[in-house]
Structure 1
Amino acid sequence: MPGAERVTVEGQEAAVIADGVSRIFGPLRAVDRLSVVIPRGVIYALLGPSGSGKTTFLRMVVGALRPSEGRLWVFGIAMPSRRVAQRIGYMPQAPALYPDLTLRENLRFFGAVYRVSRRQLEQRIEELATDLDLLAWLDHPLYRFSGGMLQRASLAVALLHEPDLLVLDEPTVGLDPLLRRTLWERFRLLASRGTTLLISTHSMDEADRCDLLGFLRGGRLLASDTPAALRALTGQDSLEDAFLILAGHPVLPVEPPR
């Protein structure tokens, strides 16, 4: 793969480029020689079961882990790098917030970390609290929040500095269907405005909402394309069956009704 600065997708700079990236923990290859190019302004999902390497790869993208092998760039900058950190928003699987602080205090703290100006920060806090239906809870400590509210609070932190790349690790786990739909509408709006979203999921329904999709199993990327193209590649009508085919598992025939 050529240097990151020369890689474009349809004439545009790629958001994320992985070239033979591995992450090794002792005898375990959590991510195994993964190569992918993610263009800007799309929603790209990594789909795979627990333990397939999704979280490990996301942590390398945001700079929290260094690749054991291979090369990884975000917006043309080799990772990990502090230079690109300001352009990334990260929502981990478990909210990394301060439960004894109010939502407003959490947002102010992380706003200072991201060096958002005080005037802009207060405006962003009001906007995000309104958009994510948390305005009435701004001055309540997070230990009073439900699981779904904590998910939205974590997303607010990730969006606070208006990142160019939003990395979301299982962002809708445990949420009710209505809230999931609301968040996905927001994800689609962000992508339409030019934000790149890299999302991990094990939900076939969510994977079908994405522009591009990578099947991950045992740390290896089995295939990467649009959901429709992956169905066509495997000759299957469902993403679940397409995944099974690519993973080397036979698809059981559907019994006709008796």
Structure 2
Amino acid sequence: MEITVQDLFKKMKKVPALKGLSMQFQDGLVHGIIGPEGAGKTTLMRHLMGLLKADQGRIQYFKDGVEQSFADVRRNLAYMPQTQSLYGELSIHEHLEFFKTLYGLEDSTYRERRQKLLAMTRLDRFEDRLASQLSGGMYKKLGLICSLLASPEVLFLDEPTNGVDPLSRRDFWKLLYEFREQENITILVTTSYMDEALKCEDVHLLFDGKTLLEGPPDKILRQEKCETFDEVFLRYDSSLEAQGEVL
């Protein structure tokens, strides 16, 4: 599924959060929405999931080149929010049972998906462990498989590796590509970790509610003559400060 965002504006409590943002997400890729804290990443994600309504602009969803209504695509979207969304008093098994009921999955479909997802995340040995007793990396994996249980076509992940140790972050990204290959889904990941931009197939740089650049990460670095994405953002931030001084 392809997604096009055009001239999105949104004020949150009278403060501009998105300022004419436009982005293009191609089908079947792992997309990284990269930006510092407060850039507007979560606000964009909530618009894409239909949780917020823009003050201006539009979001279009295309399947096989044909535009789809949001009502038609909504059931094929899955969202893993940045904030904790699991229940500490429920085990891994109980979470999967809960989401089975929530998604209305048939028993045969559920059993197949459950077995596959637990094996891929290596959580199959910990089904009885409570969510409150999971490590940070295991907790994120549980959130991921709950999102994938209903076989979505597009997966939105809002800062999924935030607060996770480097080893678990590496494992999480490896899992995303395994899911992308086996599930044939489009994945959108927001992150403020600049090094994670290089783990994506396409990156979309977001700063102060606006799009800076889009494209393959290596191509952007060559184009900007920078070695890291930290340099790209620092250059842009410096140019804004210079403009402010001139004004």
Whole-Å separation in 1 of the counterparts to 2:6 and 2:86: 33
SS in 1 for 2:161: coil
* Alpha-carbon shift at residue 111 of structure 1 (Å): 2.1
Whole-Å separation in 1 of the counterparts to 2:53 and 2:68: 14
| RMSD (Å) for aligned C-alpha atoms | 1.8
Aligned partner letter, 1:228: D
Task: Name the structure 2 match of 1:9.
Answer: none
CA deviation profile, 1:33-61 (whole Å, cap 9, x unmatched):
11111110111111111111001101111
Task: Name the structure 2 match of 1:139.
Answer: 128
TM-score (norm 2): 0.88
Aligned identity (percent) is 29
| 2:190 aligned with 1:203 | no
Aligned partner letter, 2:143: S
* Alpha-carbon shift at residue 199 of structure 1 (Å): 0.5
* Alpha-carbon shift at residue 225 of structure 1 (Å): 1.5
Aligned partner letter, 2:68: I
| 2:218 aligned with 1:228 | yes
Task: Extract unaligned runs of 5+ from structure 1.
Answer: 1-13, 251-258
TM-score (norm 1): 0.84
* Alpha-carbon shift at residue 237 of structure 1 (Å): 2.1
Asked if 2 retains the 8 angstrom alpha-carbon contact of 1:231 and 1:237, the reply is yes
Aligned pair count reads 235
Task: Name the structure 2 match of 1:44.
Answer: 31
Give the ranges of 4+ consecutive aligned residues of structure 1 lying more than 4 Å apart after TM superposition. none
Aligned partner letter, 1:221: T
Whole-Å separation in 2 of the counterparts to 1:189 and 1:246: 34
Task: Name the structure 2 match of 1:129.
Answer: 118
Which structure features the higher share of helix residues? 2
| 2:11 aligned with 1:24 | yes
Task: Name the structure 1 match of 2:20.
Answer: 33
Task: Name the structure 1 match of 2:244.
Answer: none
Aligned partner letter, 1:132: T
Asked if 1 retains the 8 angstrom alpha-carbon contact of 2:153 and 2:186, the reply is yes
Aligned partner letter, 1:95: Q
SS in 1 for 2:86: coil
Q: Higher RCO, 1 or 2 (CA under 8 Å, sep at least 6)?
A: 2
Task: Extract unaligned runs of 5+ from structure 2.
Answer: 241-247
Task: Name the structure 1 match of 2:68.
Answer: 77
| 2:52 aligned with 1:61 | no
